[in-house]
Amino acid sequence: MKYVIIGGVAGGATAAARLRRISEDAEVVLFEKGEYISYANCGLPYYIGGAISDREKLFVQTPEAFGRRFNIDVRTLSEVIKIDRDAKNVTVRTATGKEYTESYDRLLLSPGASPVRPPLPGIDSEGIFTLRNVADTDAIKGFISQSRPANAVIIGAGFIGLEMAENLHDAGLQVAVVEMANQVMAPIDFSMASIVHEHLLAEGVQLYLEKAVESFKKTDAGIEVKFKSGESITTDMVILSIGVRPNTSLAVDAGIELGPMRGIRVNEYLQTSDPDIYAVGDAIEYPHPISQQPWLNYLAGPANRQARIVADNMVFGNKQTYEGSIGTSVAKVFDLTVAATGLPAKRLKQMGVEYLSATIHPNSHAGYYPGATPMTIKVVFSPADGMLLGAQIVGYDGVDKRIDEFALVIKRGGTVEDLQKIEQAYAPPYSSAKDPVAVAGYVASNILSGNMDPLYWREMRDADPTKVAIVDVRTADEFALSSIPGAINVPLDDMRQRMAQLPIDRPLYLYCGVGLRGYLASCILRQNGFKKVRNLVGGLKLYKTATAILPTPKGFDTPSANDRIDAAPSRTVKVDACGISCPGPILKLKNNIDAIAEGEVLEVTATDPGFPRDAEAWCKSTGNRFVSATSNAGLHTVVVAKGSTSTKGPVEVDTEKGKTFILFSDDLDKALATFVLANGAAATGKKVTIFFTFWGLNAIKKERKPAVKKDFFGRMFSFMLPSNSKKLKLSKMSMGGLGGKMMRHIMKKKNVDSLESLRAQAIENGVEFIACQMSMDVMGVTREELLDEVAIGGVAAYMDRAENANVNLFI
Ligand SMILES: Cc1cc2nc3c(=O)[nH]c(=O)nc-3n(C[C@H](O)[C@H](O)[C@H](O)COP(=O)(O)OP(=O)(O)OC[C@H]3O[C@@H](n4cnc5c(N)ncnc54)[C@H](O)[C@@H]3O)c2cc1C
């Protein structure tokens, strides 16, 4: 039997190898129009970015080695240009233009897909690329090394577009992503994509959403990419990544049937409308197992699986059936991992299918073991029977293994109950005893059983506060920091006492940070007669991300003469700020920039993920130049060039925009927050004052105090109050002082500075400490008992500082 295969990469090469393994005497001829076979097309973006440095590593097999090992007649640079089904032969054109025919008994089509290049004006200009194969890769890589582009525009924000955004960024280019839809990554829902939007912006990627490209024009300044909205962006290079189309022209010319999606139609044996011709990979369409509708699926895993099935069917007759793919996919987007399987909610909505969804924000592993990172999981399921229809995850570690578990349950037709039955291996460095997949199952089951009435972020956004009561069940402190407009605050712990304040006749829309406290509050309320209680799915965390208004993109920076750093700066100073938490890295940045000369460069590496964003904001307010931020394996490296107007130290403060804090409380957590904020503000060169009043005085008492004379009440207060900052207790979960000790222990383990160290840093950074004279008198505190750096003042002293400040916080 003679088998001819068209296409020598994922589907074609896999089928050829399988054919040989199951039939030693088969004759197998493999035609590939390119120069290479069986190469790692999924690795191409990483070679462009430099993560894969050795080009040879892209080639899994050379045509010669593959041909020898599997005894296959591999013919590269050979394009099949015609199939004659009656004569059962194909016409082949070689690179030299020679044409010949080759007969077959069974033919396999695995010609893949081609990038879409719409006929827009200027699309063939130099510097506009697509990425599909090695030749495209070499062209892009060659352009970068020869023309040294400073920036690139990626058109299309699918998986490959975003992989290219990251890799071009890694190659040193500024990157803008242009997308016609209102979100990146079509296989996930908007709320999940909004997490990716935030991350792309944090990495410095310019995001142009809902922009359709109208034309390209080569100008002296570069390529002008014009949008239908009238705006434009000028760039040095363009990557078109707006999708692919199945390569079907050979099949069409031969009269082989296509399906409604314009892919090659195949049956469950992967056989085309011609019984002697089979097809696999990107070129075919196949019913989606959930929707049952035909769809095109461009993924390497399914192509490989189909190739194995088809080889068996071509040799042994049609015995193996293909069950279809549910589109399980994963992509690295800078530091994020984005994964999806099954159908997203938006697709189900389009199809008119009823669904429910649950969104949770678990950690990758036990929070108490170092290095746990957050992830957001959304599951979509049927309200009728809980059948799992789709899952999406955006996070850092452990996303890939979870998405595979969801995929397995969906492929088996499982339900949200089945998610709870998976038996996961657990140890603190890898997971939690309640694995995120199980938690997703628990939350979804609560929704399904009616234990929790879900409220989705769009419903909350569109809620009319005159018709519903929006209730924030977080603590008063959390509520004070930010809340949903119109919300009233009834903390979960006060709910039983205060529920009488809530209207019984209006629906209650509850929310908390991530959804858990809202659920607990809804249980209390429902069991106390409140009928219409709904809880915001994914909590405020998801709501804020999904409703965030993205900044208007500004185009690429053109470095001005003032801004430009010398090609070879006189000195780069490296600073290690790893293992310390906010505001430690910023303080290190500030202290070290003070020690270098104008034009010199500081490179600070930290593990605090918020550091790059803080550093950029700090540079803006201090006149230093934020050169770059890169992240790799949890290490965030920020490069800053010292500017001519750089703040020199705490003396040169901007008194016009100072910050004041009134520390009224002696709760350990509130005192900590005060010093952290004060240090952060001081690092930006602002005049910062902390006014210590009443219980707050306990945060600035000396540990070793001289003996002082006190009256009876003074002695009573001394006896009852904490004698110094080390004796402060937590505002919540104090447990007779045990909570405070636990907090200090955890802070130490996580390398968070102690209260005393943060206080010393504040003094060093020029933060002004004023003790309230009146409070000292009332509480019998004397000057000698307070730290030497503390000044004594009254209301006037505070008001004077507050007048010149634009932030005044009472803690
Ligand atoms: C940059 C990039 C990154 C990707 N990353 C991922 C990823 O991370 N994960 C994932 O699952 N998938 C990824 N994919 C998709 C995956 O590579 C494809 O789904 C898979 O390769 C499809 O296999 P195929 O055999 O159908 O087509 P291909 O692997 O594209 O092979 C088709 C071959 O057929 C040849 N050919 C076409 N017509 C003819 C002809 N007439 N005569 C001779 N030869 C012909 C072509 O030259 C081509 O080499 C990526 C794709 C690209 C381009």
How many alpha carbons lie under 13 Å from residue 505 in its C-beta half-sphere?
2
Q: Residue 9 gets which letter from DSSP?
A: S
Which of 4, 6, 9 for a ligand 1 pocket mutation test, highest count of atoms within 8 Å of Cβ? 9
Name the packing angle between helices 10-22 and 63-70 (round to 10°).
20
Place of tokens 């099935």: 309
Q: What is the pLDDT of residue 126?
A: 95
User: pLDDT tens for residues 177-196?
Assistant: 999 999 999 999 999 999 99
Is 279's C-beta closer than 6 angstroms to any atom of ligand 1?
no
- Average per-residue pLDDT in the chain? 91
- Cβ 689 vs Cβ 770: under 8 Å: yes
What span, in angstroms and rounded, lies between the C-alpha atoms of 110 and 310? 11
Say how many Å lie between the CA of residue 98 and the centre of ligand 1. Answer: 25
The answer on pLDDT for 93 being more than 50 is yes
Is 9's C-beta closer than 6 angstroms to any atom of ligand 1?
yes
The answer on pLDDT for 218 being more than 70 is yes
What span, in angstroms and rounded, lies between the C-alpha atoms of 702 and 381? 59
122 burial level (CB within 10 Å; 0-12, 13-18, 19+): middle
| Residues near 320 by beta carbon (within 8 Å), at least 6 away in sequence | 269, 309, 312, 313
Question: Strands (DSSP E) along 110-159, which ranges?
Answer: 113-115, 128-130, 151-155
Residue 31: strand pairing partners: 6, 75
Sequential DSSP letters for 307-374? HHHHHHHHHH-S----------EEEEETTEEEEEEE--HHHHHHHT---EEEEE--BSS-TTSTT--B
pLDDT band of residue 112 (cuts 50, 70, 90) is very high
Sign of the CA dihedral with 525 first, then 529, 535, and 540 last: negative
Residue 512 annotated to the active site: no
Q: What is the pLDDT of residue 558?
A: 63
Is 131's C-beta closer than 6 angstroms to any atom of ligand 1?
yes
Structure tokens at 696: 């707050």
pLDDT band of residue 570 (cuts 50, 70, 90) is low
Is 31's C-beta closer than 6 angstroms to any atom of ligand 1?
yes
User: pLDDT tens for residues 637-669?
Assistant: 899 988 876 544 333 334 457 889 999 999 988
SS3 154: strand
- Which of the two residues, 795 and 156, has the higher pLDDT score? 156
Nearest to 109 by CA among 244, 278, 246, 276: 278
Q: Which of 87-101, 560-574, 577-591 has the highest mean pLDDT?
A: 87-101
- Cβ 15 vs Cβ 110: under 8 Å: yes
End-to-end CA distance of the chain: give it in Å, rounded.
83
- Other residues' Cβ atoms within 10 Å of the Cβ of residue 138: 14
Which is the closest atom of ligand 1 to the Cα of 298? 19
Backbone angles phi, psi at 636, to 5 degrees: -110, 115
Nearest to 245 by CA among 127, 118, 92: 118
Is 48's C-beta closer than 6 angstroms to any atom of ligand 1?
no
Q: What is the pLDDT of residue 75?
A: 98
pLDDT band of residue 568 (cuts 50, 70, 90) is very low
User: pLDDT tens for residues 608-617?
Assistant: 776 887 788 7
- Cβ 573 vs Cβ 596: under 8 Å: yes
Which of 32, 41, 108, 168 for a ligand 1 pocket mutation test, highest count of atoms within 8 Å of Cβ? 41
Amino acid at 793: G
Which is the closest atom of ligand 1 to the Cα of 34? 47
Average pLDDT over residues 72-93: 98
Place of tokens 């088996």: 412
Q: What is the pLDDT of residue 279?
A: 98
Whether the bond into 583 is cis, omega within 30 of 0? yes
Say how many Å lie between the CA of residue 41 and the centre of ligand 1. Answer: 7
Q: What is the pLDDT of residue 535?
A: 98
Say how many Å lie between the CA of residue 39 and the centre of ligand 1. Answer: 9
Q: What is the pLDDT of residue 735?
A: 72
How far lies 308's CA from each of 19, 67, 68, 304, 315, in Å?
Answer: 8, 18, 20, 7, 11
Is 12's C-beta closer than 6 angstroms to any atom of ligand 1?
yes
Q: Which of 365-369, 547-551, 666-670, 779-783 has the lowest mean pLDDT?
A: 779-783
- Provide the H-helix boundaries in 450-597: 457-461, 476-481, 495-498, 516-527, 539-547, 584-594
- Other residues' Cβ atoms within 10 Å of the Cβ of residue 13: 27
The answer on pLDDT for 12 being more than 80 is yes
Structure tokens at 708: 């002082």
User: pLDDT tens for residues 139-163?
Assistant: 999 999 999 999 999 999 999 999 9
Sign of the CA dihedral with 290 first, then 291, 292, and 298 last: negative
Say how many Å lie between the CA of residue 299 and the centre of ligand 1. Answer: 9
Question: Strands (DSSP E) along 1-119, which ranges?
Answer: 2-6, 27-31, 73-75, 78-84, 89-94, 99-103, 106-109, 113-115
SS3 712: helix
Angle at 732 between CA 726 and CA 734, to 5 degrees: 50
Amino acid at 4: V
Query: Which conformational region is residue 148 in: left (phi greater than 0), alpha (psi within -120 to 50 degrees), or beta?
Result: left
Strands 635-641 and 601-606: antiparallel
Cα–chain center distance at 210: 20
Nearest to 40 by CA among 58, 14, 62: 58
Name the packing angle between helices 668-683 and 738-749 (round to 10°).
30
- Which of the two residues, 296 and 713, has the higher pLDDT score? 296
pLDDT band of residue 168 (cuts 50, 70, 90) is very high
- Cβ 671 vs Cβ 699: under 8 Å: yes
Nearest to 588 by CA among 599, 604, 572, 573: 604
Which is the closest atom of ligand 1 to the Cα of 81? 41
Is 282's C-beta closer than 6 angstroms to any atom of ligand 1?
yes
Say how many Å lie between the CA of residue 116 and the centre of ligand 1. Answer: 14
Structure tokens at 55: 């080009």
Q: Residue 435 gets which letter from DSSP?
A: -
The pTM of the full predicted model, rounded to 2 decimals, is: 0.74
Average pLDDT over residues 30-42: 96
Q: What is the pLDDT of residue 60?
A: 82
Average pLDDT over residues 492-499: 96
Nearest to 776 by CA among 702, 688, 714: 714
Is 492's C-beta closer than 6 angstroms to any atom of ligand 1?
no
Is 333's C-beta closer than 6 angstroms to any atom of ligand 1?
no
Q: What is the pLDDT of residue 562?
A: 39
User: pLDDT tens for residues 203-217?
Assistant: 999 999 999 999 999
What span, in angstroms and rounded, lies between the C-alpha atoms of 538 and 525? 19
Percent of the chain with pLDDT over 70: 95
Which of 42, 91, 137 for a ligand 1 pocket mutation test, highest count of atoms within 8 Å of Cβ? 42
- Other residues' Cβ atoms within 10 Å of the Cβ of residue 491: 18
User: pLDDT tens for residues 379-401?
Assistant: 999 999 999 999 999 999 999 99
What span, in angstroms and rounded, lies between the C-alpha atoms of 273 and 359? 43
What span, in angstroms and rounded, lies between the C-alpha atoms of 771 and 533? 47
Q: What is the pLDDT of residue 631?
A: 76
- Which of the two residues, 240 and 755, has the higher pLDDT score? 240
User: pLDDT tens for residues 421-443?
Assistant: 999 999 999 999 999 999 999 99
